Structure 1
Amino acid sequence: MARIIGGFAEIADRYDAAFVDLWGCLHNGLRAFPEAVAAMVAYRARGGKVILVTNAPRPRASVEAQIERLGIPREAWDAIATSGDAARVALFQGAVGSRVWFMGENRDRAFLEPPRIVQHPVPLLEVPLDEAEGIVCCGPADPFAHPDVNRTAFEYAIERGMRLLCANPDIVVDRGESREWCAGALARLYEEMGGESLYFGKPHAPIYDLGRRRLSQIGLLPPDDKILCVGDGILTDIAGAVGEGLDSLLITGGLAAAETRTAPGSQPDEAALAAYLEVERLTPTYAIGFLR
């Protein structure tokens, strides 16, 4: 059973760095959570380093601009590692070919710009599906449309042997009170239909490698037992931490609020949390209703 804590300060001194999820932990897609922001500012003031590790399918500069608009100040974090950055490296190394069919919203098209760390990027051309070698999936064009609307296109792509590069393994995300589909839901459907999907965000190793690289860039490379992963996704944040051998803190008031009976501003129901973790077969080191 995970230990339920009352505040981040209870465990902060045990860790030199925290890999902190954004959506559901520091903001809800519309605005920042003041208590969560304050907790990270206080942690950094004590010497801790905060790496924002997010499954956003965009470059870190885009994420930085977004969170500033939402009210997350620069004082709350040290560096950003995005699923988009990790996936873009593979994309421009030719993971799905050079002629690609793009899935996503217009704001996600920055993903198709080559990252500076790839010295000789594969020339990339966005083309219609019937001319493509592979699929770049940043998410659905309509985040409220069920993934099944893509079945016909996916059948065609699978028949032609295309691989799908998933820029964001999240299945759903809550924007305020509305739940939206993410790229991970499309990639899962593609696999269920017999296709091959490539993943780079949580819970997969490449984004954790990128997080450690970000720590190294700011002059810190702590042992694994000094890194804590914080997030609200049991199958992304917590599963990823377990896979990497890192401690974790589950924010129960995010995606699992209903299952853990976490009311706004409160702690999870202990029995409900235990039942939820038993069903998911994953146990975080700690749990808290909301990051504070």
Structure 2
Amino acid sequence: MSLLDDYDALLFDLDGTVYRGEEVIPGADRAVEAAHAAGTKVRFVTNNASRGPDEVASHLTRIGVRAAPAEVSTSAQAAAAVLADKLQPGTTVLVVGSAALVHEVEIRGLTATRSHSADVQAVVQGLSKDTGWRDLAEACVAIRAGALWVACNVDPTLPTERGPLPGNGSMVTALRTATGSEPVIAGKPASPLMDEARKSADARNPLVIGDRLDTDIAGAVGAGLDSLLVLTGVSTAQELLDASEDMRPTFVAHDVAAVTEDGIRIEGDDWPTAVRAALARLGLEHEVA
């Protein structure tokens, strides 16, 4: 028996779970292949809004992880869905983010722009390495004028092969400070992205897999889903031990290859004791105080 036998879909996070930048995390390729072979649906669920599904799938394939665009769910897609639900077709949306985010807005029947005008009714903000002060200034004017503000995610950092770098959340914080407003959040741990991924996979009992307690695992807990924390990215064993109830995973593992195994479940009413026992089974008891 393995975790593949217990769930009808695996919802994989990407950064810090399947890859770091251009480097595949060891075991991730085998885990995805095993899921496909078992007939378990796979979805790659990412808070990174800078690339579209085609580009994400191409990147995964290039580093050795089999993926199709239809298996990718991004926070840009979730944010565009939120906008389409709240706005009339043709409404003008100011986009702070990548061309992929512009595309998602436009295929939902909305009009994308890069600068503020009286026509702008909403602002959507996602990660782009090209975002600068002028982009934030245009968004600031629109938000202060009453535009709906949707953030693809609020991740403060982005895991890379060079270490953590500023994420979308860092730039969202700049606009929070400048406007005194709060955005509607589309990505994990908020529900829109997880809902989009579940719907895409037509999954009744998916397993959420990720490296961050504050996004992947908190999103799963909020949605009432089982989750697997992998220790290949942001969150550490010590942070797992100290996790609040809204960030507690069902399972913990070294990496995503664990989906081909029975899974180390964190069991027991006393959380610290249960975590220590699970970490001991992984040989990581020395990682916590």
TM range (shorter): 0.7 to 0.9
Give distance in 1, aligned partners of 2:187 and 2:32.
22
* Residue 112 of structure 2 is aligned to residue 124 of structure 1: yes
* Residue 100 of structure 2 is aligned to residue 110 of structure 1: yes
Do the aligned partners of residues 245 and 237 (structure 1) sit closer, same or farther apart at CA in structure 2, a change above 3 Å counting? same
Checking the alignment, whether the CA contact within 8 Å between 1:98 and 1:125 is kept in structure 2 is no
The within-5 A match list for 1:125-164 is 125-128=113-116, 132-139=120-127, 141=129, 156-164=141-149
Backbone CA RMSD of aligned residues: 3.3
Do the aligned partners of residues 32 and 198 (structure 1) sit closer, same or farther apart at CA in structure 2, a change above 3 Å counting? same
* Residue 190 of structure 2 is aligned to residue 204 of structure 1: yes
Measured after TM superposition, the shift of residue 164 of structure 1 is 2.5
Instruction: Give the total of aligned pairs.
Output: 254
Give distance in 2, aligned partners of 1:115 and 1:102.
8
Give distance in 1, aligned partners of 2:38 and 2:181.
47
1:50 paired residue number: 42
* Residue 163 of structure 2 is aligned to residue 178 of structure 1: yes
Do the aligned partners of residues 63 and 168 (structure 1) sit closer, same or farther apart at CA in structure 2, a change above 3 Å counting? farther
Do the aligned partners of residues 131 and 211 (structure 1) sit closer, same or farther apart at CA in structure 2, a change above 3 Å counting? closer
Letter of the aligned partner of 1:190 in structure 2? L
Do the aligned partners of residues 255 and 274 (structure 1) sit closer, same or farther apart at CA in structure 2, a change above 3 Å counting? closer
Q: What CA deviation, in whole Å up to 9, does each residue of 1:239-261 have, x standing for no partner?
A: 1100110000011220124xx2x
Measured after TM superposition, the shift of residue 180 of structure 1 is 1.7
Measured after TM superposition, the shift of residue 203 of structure 1 is 1.4
2:10 paired residue number: 18
Name the SS of the counterpart of 2:189 in structure 1.
coil
Measured after TM superposition, the shift of residue 188 of structure 1 is 4.2
Name the SS of the counterpart of 1:22 in structure 2.
coil
Name the SS of the counterpart of 1:124 in structure 2.
strand
Q: Which runs of 5+ in 2 are unaligned?
A: 258-289
Do the aligned partners of residues 95 and 24 (structure 1) sit closer, same or farther apart at CA in structure 2, a change above 3 Å counting? farther
Give distance in 1, aligned partners of 2:105 and 2:116.
23
Checking the alignment, whether the CA contact within 8 Å between 2:228 and 2:251 is kept in structure 1 is yes
Measured after TM superposition, the shift of residue 128 of structure 1 is 4.7
Checking the alignment, whether the CA contact within 8 Å between 1:50 and 1:78 is kept in structure 2 is no
What TM-score, normalized by structure 1, do the two folds share?
Answer: 0.73
Measured after TM superposition, the shift of residue 159 of structure 1 is 3.4
The within-5 A match list for 1:137-286 is 137-139=125-127, 141=129, 156-191=141-176, 194-216=180-202, 221-222=203-204, 226-257=205-236, 260=237, 272-278=238-244, 282-286=247-251
Name the SS of the counterpart of 1:178 in structure 2.
coil
Give distance in 1, aligned partners of 2:70 and 2:113.
34
Do the aligned partners of residues 152 and 85 (structure 1) sit closer, same or farther apart at CA in structure 2, a change above 3 Å counting? closer
Give distance in 2, aligned partners of 1:197 and 1:41.
38
Do the aligned partners of residues 36 and 136 (structure 1) sit closer, same or farther apart at CA in structure 2, a change above 3 Å counting? same
Q: Which runs of 5+ in 1 are unaligned?
A: 1-8, 261-271
Letter of the aligned partner of 1:48 in structure 2? T
Percent identical residues? 28
Name the SS of the counterpart of 2:247 in structure 1.
coil
Checking the alignment, whether the CA contact within 8 Å between 1:60 and 1:85 is kept in structure 2 is no
Match of 1:64 among 54, 57, 70: 57
Do the aligned partners of residues 82 and 140 (structure 1) sit closer, same or farther apart at CA in structure 2, a change above 3 Å counting? closer
Do the aligned partners of residues 291 and 139 (structure 1) sit closer, same or farther apart at CA in structure 2, a change above 3 Å counting? same
Do the aligned partners of residues 116 and 212 (structure 1) sit closer, same or farther apart at CA in structure 2, a change above 3 Å counting? farther
